[in-house]
Every structure is written in C-alpha cells, then in structure tokens.
Amino acid sequence: MDITIIGTGRADELEALGYLHMAVQQSLDTGFASAVKVLD
C-alpha cells in the first residue's frame, strides 16, 4: 500500500489517529480488520 502525504501540517493528527485506531482494535471485535477513512 502506498501512502502519500503532502506537507506535514496534519502529520501529528494522523499519527494520533493511527495510535488510537491501534488501541481500540480489540474492543471493536473485527478481528483486526478495520480501517479508518480520512475525509478532507
């Protein structure tokens, strides 16, 4: 999977979202097969 991020203005927010998503995986009970969709 390729991820392209232009600029770093939202890098901290995306990183925090990634950590949050990892932290709630088990409680989502999706077998760690969930995703986050970012709309801008």
pLDDT for the residue numbered 6: 64
| Residues across the chain | 40
| Alpha helices, H only, the chain | 11-28
pLDDT for the residue numbered 7: 67
Q: What is the pLDDT along the chain (40 residues), one digit of tens a residue?
A: 666 666 677 788 888 988 998 889 888 888 888 888 888 7
Q: Compute the distance between CA of residue 40 and CA of residue 12 in angstroms, rounded to an integer.
A: 15
pLDDT for the residue numbered 1: 64
pLDDT for the residue numbered 26: 84
Q: Compute the distance between CA of residue 34 and CA of residue 11 in angstroms, rounded to an integer.
A: 21
pLDDT for the residue numbered 11: 81
